[in-house]
Amino acid sequence: MGYITTYTGKHFDPLVPDMEAIDIHDIAHALSLTCRGNGHVKQFFSVGQHCVYCALEAEARGYSKRVVLGCLLHDAGEAYMSDVPRPFKVMLHEYVQAEDKLIDLIYTKFLGSTLSEEEKKLVSEIDDDILYFDMIELLNVPQNGPEPKLGIQLNYDEVQPFEKIEQAYIDIFEKYMHL
């Protein structure tokens, strides 16, 4: 079997991805149930919640709708390929190539094209800024360098139900897809 069966019942091969089978509901659902840090965190905190925070931060900074959606979708490949922690991922060249191909296809489906280098830079900066706080709050790992200034409040105090995160993900997607 060369495919996974998604939440909405589609058969999807992450190594030979079909743009028509990519579904925002599959992405939102899967990411809302996928734990950050490969599960090695103080309490459950989803990749979906991280992506929602990234999108809200892009919105707070006044970035374009493409960057807001880029932030929301930056980990969308993990809905189909799973999450691999950064330190290990750099050693998996074929995995990274397949993930890059998939995320480019996801961006093309929803944004009409891949992100520009400037858009990628803005998405990466926000991802790193939020990761700074994720590392402290979820892993008790002190961070070097100055604390990033955020335009939003992060909440790590209580586990958010996956349904709430899934809906927040869809709400942001729908808001910015129709602007």
For 35-71, write each residue's pLDDT tens digit.
998 899 999 999 999 999 999 999 999 999 999 999 9
Inform me whether the pLDDT recorded for 1 exceeds 70: no
Structure confidence at residue 88 (pLDDT): 82
Instruction: Give the pLDDT mean for 85-112.
Output: 92
pTM, two decimals, is 0.95
Structure confidence at residue 57 (pLDDT): 98
Are the CB atoms for 56 and 160 separated by under 8 Å?
no
Query: pLDDT tens for residues 109-120?
Result: 999 999 999 999
What single letter denotes the amino acid at residue 129? Answer: D
Supply 64's token pair. 């374009």
Task: Show the DSSP H helices in 90-116 as ranges.
Answer: 93-111
Inform me whether the pLDDT recorded for 179 exceeds 80: no
Query: pLDDT tens for residues 63-85?
Result: 999 999 999 999 999 999 987 77
b/e per residue 19-43 (b: at least 16 CB within 10 A): eebbbbebbbbbbbbbbbbeeebee
Q: What is the chain's length?
A: 179
5, β-bridge pairs: 11
What single letter denotes the amino acid at residue 134? Answer: D
The DSSP call for residue 120 is H
Query: pLDDT tens for residues 144-177?
Result: 999 999 999 999 999 999 999 999 999 999 999 9
